[in-house]
Amino acid sequence: MVVLGIETTCDETAAAVVERRADGSGAILSNIVLSQTKEHAAYGGVVPEIAARAHVEALDKVIAAALKDAGRTWDRIDAVAAAAGPGLIGGVIVGLTTAKAIALVNKLPFIAVNHLEAHGLSPRLIGAVPFPYFLFLASGGHTQIVAVLGVGDYVRLGTTLDDAIGEAFDKTAKLLGLGYPGGPLVEREAERGQAERFALPRPMLGRPDPNFSFSGLKTAVRLEAQKIAPLSERDVADLCAAFQAAVTDVVADRLTAGLKAFRPRFGSPNALVAAGGVASNRAIRAVLHRVAFEARTVLVVPPPELCTDNGAMIAWAGSERLACGVTDALDASPRARWSLEAVTRPVGKDEAAKG
């Protein structure tokens, strides 16, 4: 089957065409992503109204480009999938409404995809990753540890109690005057800084529950910056290095706690999977490799272009659900909030869902 996927939950306007083969493997035929970074940079973060307007202006062209790159016309598309949430509701409405119109006009099956599920299933697009697996989902809006038991079958083991990990990177970058998006900028500065100069806290370290907290760490960076203001380039680099070192220590500890919670309930995971934009951070990837090695499992991380928001992951999640016999009616609602555990599990398709 060949599925068109549309993603508009935040500040990327994206569309992709993905093929799911008979053996369950996948191939990306096209993957077009139009970033809105320039539109939001002056504000230090995403402005929902600007994002929604930009989606309206760009989406038709992005979809046309995805079809052209894939060498497909509408009569050679088998289904259309769109992110129905969670996300900025204005953007979600744009993508979802467009997908419904396409499905209606072309008489195609329609799948309303949970954006988090799409991240969680994206590793199966690049290779065979059997269920169950241990998912670390880390992005600008989400930080979760999830047991992925099958398509539509998720158990959240841990989450952040305040800021998401990507949000903490962005806020730290803004505090230090680095700009937006903050994650890559903090990572760049950290590479030339001395982490040991500042003794920053490691929130939640050693706790048995695999939850996260980053607001205290962010506050500690602000207090250290205020002590030595005005900041030199060296100060900024050292603060970034100290912040990133604290984050990686926390990630390692929290994932270890998550694995301890996973095994008694679900057995040994077939893989430690990382998804979301934060998985592109090289220091965090190094920690993931170490945790996976110590847990005696394999690490699976999609390539960077599939870690950030994109249409291919939406198309793939749509194909996974379609293979289980799941489609959605055209009255499916956009959702600003939609937890993974609230995603509908396929009924009567257990073998397909567990494949």
pLDDT attached to residue 68: 98
Are 30 and 70 in contact, with CB atoms under 8 Å apart?
A: yes
Sign of the Cα torsion 321, 160, 145, 348 reads negative
Its domain, for residue 257, covers 133-300
Q: How confident is the model at residue 348 (pLDDT cuts 50, 70, 90)?
A: low
Arithmetic mean of pLDDT, 184-197:
96
Residue 65 falls within a domain, yes or no?
yes
As a whole-number percent, the residues of the chain with pLDDT over 70 amount to 97
Same structural domain for residues 294 and 313? no
Q: Say yes or no to pLDDT of 42 above 90.
A: no
Domain of 50, CATH number, reads 3.30.420.40
Residue 127 falls within a domain, yes or no?
no
Arithmetic mean of pLDDT, 18-27:
94
Same structural domain for residues 320 and 272? no
Q: Say yes or no to pLDDT of 281 above 60.
A: yes
Sign of the Cα torsion 57, 60, 61, 63 reads positive
How does pLDDT run across 306-334, given as a tens digit for each residue?
A: 988 999 999 999 999 999 999 999 999 99
pLDDT attached to residue 11: 87
Residue 90 falls within a domain, yes or no?
yes
Residue 288 falls within a domain, yes or no?
yes
How does pLDDT run across 195-254, given as a tens digit for each residue?
A: 999 999 999 999 999 999 999 999 999 999 999 999 999 999 999 999 999 999 999 999
Residue 348 falls within a domain, yes or no?
yes
Same structural domain for residues 115 and 143? no
Residue 166 falls within a domain, yes or no?
yes
pLDDT attached to residue 116: 94
Residue 347 falls within a domain, yes or no?
yes
Q: What pTM does this model have? A: 0.93
Same structural domain for residues 108 and 22? yes
Q: Say yes or no to pLDDT of 294 above 90.
A: yes
Residue 279 falls within a domain, yes or no?
yes
The label of the residue with tokens 């016309």 reads 73
Same structural domain for residues 99 and 159? no
Cα 134 to Cα 2, 162, 298, distances in angstroms: 28, 22, 10
Q: How many domains does the chain have?
A: 2
Arithmetic mean of pLDDT, 264-289:
93
Strands, sheet with 110-114, edge to edge from the N-terminal-most edge strand:
26-35, 12-20, 2-7, 79-85, 110-114
Q: Which residues contact 233 (CB under 8 A, 6 or more apart)?
A: none
Same structural domain for residues 224 and 342? no
Arithmetic mean of pLDDT, 128-138:
95
The label of the residue with tokens 């397909």 reads 352
Cα 173 to Cα 13, 216, 338, distances in angstroms: 24, 16, 28
Same structural domain for residues 182 and 96? no
What is the rounded average pLDDT for all residues in the chain?
93
Same structural domain for residues 83 and 210? no
Same structural domain for residues 152 and 267? yes
Same structural domain for residues 52 and 146? no
Are 72 and 2 in contact, with CB atoms under 8 Å apart?
A: yes
Same structural domain for residues 150 and 294? yes
Same structural domain for residues 118 and 161? no
Q: Say yes or no to pLDDT of 259 above 70.
A: yes
Q: Give, for 41, the enclosing helix (H) or strand (E).
A: helix 37-41
